[in-house]
Structures are given as structure tokens and as C-alpha cells.
Amino acid sequence: MEKLKIKPGQKVDLHDFDPADTRLAPGKKDETNEKSDKLAEKIGDLQELLFAEHKHKLLVVLQGMDTSGKDGTVRHVMRGVSPQSVRAVSFKKPSQLELDHDFLWRVHMWVPSSGDIVIFNRSHYEDVLVVRVHQLVHEKIWRKRYGEINDFERLLCESGTTILKFFLHISKDEQRERLQARLDDPTKRWKFEHGDLEERKLWNHYQNAYEDAIEKTSTEWAPWFVVPSDKKWFRNWFVAKTIVDTLESFDMKYPEPDLHAETIE
């Protein structure tokens, strides 16, 4: 899994990562899907243990171009968990109240509590991505945010949160096919917006923004993984495997029950 992890200070050129690469998969599509099913069950078991022990916190950040599969990743990878201690949070266009505060204010309130897993479907990184591409604030403002994000994530980690950040990397051709599939399928057509086509015209600008964001904010305490995501089955397996490995590294144990009563009346 380390092969797709961005080391601190590593230069990032997304052309160096093949979005269709599946060489790290444990087998072909069917075999990998079977392993993904088992990983989803494992995440469910580990999530229950995480909640019971109530010591650790896990934040999973999903970023990617439109149609990269953020929703699909949440749906497939987290299908075995209980909603009791798992939340998926999406960050849309900020409200006026949110704009009246610093850009991290609306994010901080959603970070995980002890025993929780939280998935950010888009995140605080929108403030160095879409904000940059559409020039919503002056460059001197969004450039300072890389350091502010690093400080914010360091604070979370020093408070007991483990952070995993996944960039779901797809090709422009794959995005075209997925957008067309939305139009062709009556059950998915509702997801299509004309704004998707306008954003697609800014593909290269977004790629540059992602390269800078990943390069400047992949740290020892909050690393980025660039996940080849043209093949959904590989994407799901990689994210699930990384989450399982991380949860297992906590070496969690169920707490001992307080059994003062010897019998149950």
C-alpha cells in the first residue's frame, strides 16, 4: 500500500500515476471483489471494537474529480458498519454563516469523537481546489491555507485522530464515459448537471490544483494516497484494505465489563 502513499516533500505529477493501474490488486476483478466483501465485513467488526474501546478516532477524507467515485466508495467500503458510530459528511457550497467564520470552522465541528469513524466526501480541501480554480479568493489567501490545513490536521492527530486521505484518480476519458452513462441511465440521470460539463472544461486547472494540494499537505501525520480509480473494483479494494490495516494497527481490545451483579434476576 505504501507505493501509492505520497511521502512528505515528494514532488507530485499526476501523469506519473496510471488511473487504470491495478497491479497492486490481490487478483483479477472477481477475486478482488471477493476479498473486498470480506474486508467490508472486517471493517464492520473493527468498527464495533473501535466504538467499544472508545480510545481512537478515524477520519477518512475522499477527494477527486466529478464521477471519481466518492459516493460509490462510501457505499461499498462502509456497507458493513453500524450507523451508531460512523458518519459520512459532504461539504457543499458554504452558507453565509459558514463564510462569516474561518474556512475550517464548518469542518472542525464534524471531526470524529472517540470511538467514531467519519468519512469526508469532499472536505476542507475544497478551499484550495474549487476556490483556487474559480478564483473565489485572492491567491495570497488560498496559498496560506496549505500550512493552515497542515496545522489543523496536526492538531487533530495530537488529539487522538488518525487521518487517511484518498485522492480518487480517474482519467479524463473515464470521466467522459461516466458522465455519458449518467445521461443514458434514467435512474442516474438526476445526478447529471450542466455545471459538470463546465467543470470538465477546467480539467487541467483542477489537476494542477490537486497536485499542489497533495504535494503540500501529505504529511507524516496525515498522508495522501493517490488511488487509481478507473477500475471501481480496485478503488474499493484499496481503500477498504488501507482502512482495515489502519484499524488493526490500533491493537484494540474490548473493555472488561463491570460485573458487580453475579446473577441476572
DSSP string, 99-161: HTS-TTHHHHTTSPPTT-EEEEES-GGGGGTHHHHTT-S-HHHHHHHHHHHHHHHHHHHHTTE
Q: Supply the pLDDT for residue 38.
A: 97
Q: How far apart are CA 51 and CA 83, in angstroms?
A: 11
Q: Is the pLDDT of residue 196 over 90?
A: no
The C-alpha cell 466483501 sits at 37
Band of residue 251 on the pLDDT scale cut at 50, 70, 90: very high
Task: Note the pLDDT tens digit of each residue in 67-101.
Answer: 999 999 999 999 989 887 899 999 988 999 999 99
What's the mean pLDDT in 7-29? 97
Higher pLDDT, 189 or 73: 73
Least confident interval from 9-23, 72-86, 124-138:
72-86
Is 237:36 a contact under the CB 8 Å cutoff?
Answer: yes
Q: What is the mean pLDDT of the chain?
A: 94
How many other CB atoms sit within 10 Å of the CB of residue 24?
Answer: 15
Band of residue 254 on the pLDDT scale cut at 50, 70, 90: very high
Q: Supply the pLDDT for residue 113.
A: 96
What's the mean pLDDT in 146-170? 98
Q: Supply the pLDDT for residue 84.
A: 79
Alpha-carbon 10 to chain mean position: 20
Q: How far apart are CA 190 and CA 182, in angstroms?
A: 8
What's the mean pLDDT in 197-208? 96
Task: Note the pLDDT tens digit of each residue in 132-152.
Answer: 999 999 999 999 999 999 999
In the chain, where the domains are located: 2-249
Band of residue 258 on the pLDDT scale cut at 50, 70, 90: confident
Band of residue 124 on the pLDDT scale cut at 50, 70, 90: very high
Q: Supply the pLDDT for residue 264.
A: 58
Nearest Cα to Cα of residue 73 among 165, 181, 184: 165
Q: Supply the pLDDT for residue 262.
A: 62
Q: Is the pLDDT of residue 263 over 80?
A: no
Q: Supply the pLDDT for residue 261.
A: 58
**3-state secondary structure at position 74:** helix
What's the mean pLDDT in 8-14? 96
Nearest Cα to Cα of residue 62 among 163, 188, 159, 181: 163
Q: Is the pLDDT of residue 210 over 90?
A: yes
Strand pairing class (117-121; 86-90): parallel
Could you tell me which CATH class the domain 2-249 is placed in?
A: alpha beta
Q: Supply the pLDDT for residue 256.
A: 85
